């Protein structure tokens, strides 16, 4: 099954992603949800801004998901990443992996988030109480 990939400025809905990735053949669902926290590197964060090269980011996320699916024999993957301004507590990324067995789902989920953060053209600007700066994933 083709992975579900969503890049959007709208708030992410984990329930929609879980429903999209769920299948009766799967015995485990692993969810990673990255949320905006109120601090980073000793600074008080007010909000984050994400920018993305959307077409390239979508293709690269699809490639990462396809590789994970092949590597861990997983058929049901949904990944959503938000861009634009995000407030404290809002989800920036949600990854849902549904798999017959939990070990493969955990491994695939970790691989996807770690690879996504280091290779996909999505940039994060932290706006703090004492200024703002672009930071690496």
Give the per-residue pLDDT at 46.
Answer: 97
Taking 70 as the threshold, does the pLDDT of residue 137 lie above it? no
Number of domains in the chain: 1
52 domain residue, yes or no: yes
Give the per-residue pLDDT at 17.
Answer: 97
19 domain residue, yes or no: yes
Q: What's the DSSP call for residue 13?
A: -
38-71 pLDDT per residue, tens: 999 889 999 999 999 999 999 999 999 999 999 9
Taking the alpha carbons at both ends of the chain, their separation in whole angstroms is 29
Residue 29 structural domain: 4-131
114 domain residue, yes or no: yes
137 domain residue, yes or no: no
81-135 pLDDT per residue, tens: 999 999 999 999 999 999 999 999 999 999 999 999 999 999 999 999 999 999 9
Taking 90 as the threshold, does the pLDDT of residue 33 lie above it? yes
Token output for 48: 């984050």
- CATH number, domain at 42? 3.90.1170.40
18 domain residue, yes or no: yes
H/E element holding 71? helix 54-72
Token output for 81: 């990443």
13 domain residue, yes or no: yes
CA 119, distance to chain mean position in Å, is 13
Phi, psi (degrees; rounded to nearest 5) at 19: -60, -40
46 domain residue, yes or no: yes
> Interhelix angle for 54-72 vs 102-119, to 10°?
150
Give the per-residue pLDDT at 1.
Answer: 79
Token output for 33: 């949800």
8-28 pLDDT per residue, tens: 999 999 999 999 999 999 999
121 domain residue, yes or no: yes
137 vs 94, residue with greater confidence: 94
| Number of residues written out for the chain | 137
């Amino acid at each position: 099954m083709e992975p579900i990939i969503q890049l959007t400025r709208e708030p992410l809905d984990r329930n929609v992603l879980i429903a999209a990735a769920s299948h009766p053949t799967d015995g485990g669902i692993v969810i990673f949800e990255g949320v905006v926290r109120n601090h980073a590197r000793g600074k008080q964060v007010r909000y984050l801004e994400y920018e993305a090269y959307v077409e390239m980011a979508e293709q690269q996320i699809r490639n990462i998901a396809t590789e994970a699916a092949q590597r861990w024999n997983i058929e049901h993957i949904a990944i959503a990443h938000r861009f634009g301004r995000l407030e404290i507590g809002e989800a920036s990324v949600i990854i849902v992996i549904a798999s017959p067995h939990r070990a493969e789902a955990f491994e695939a989920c970790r691989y996807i988030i770690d690879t996504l953060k280091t290779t996909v053209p999505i940039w994060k600007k932290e706006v703090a109480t004492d200024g703002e700066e672009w930071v690496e994933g």
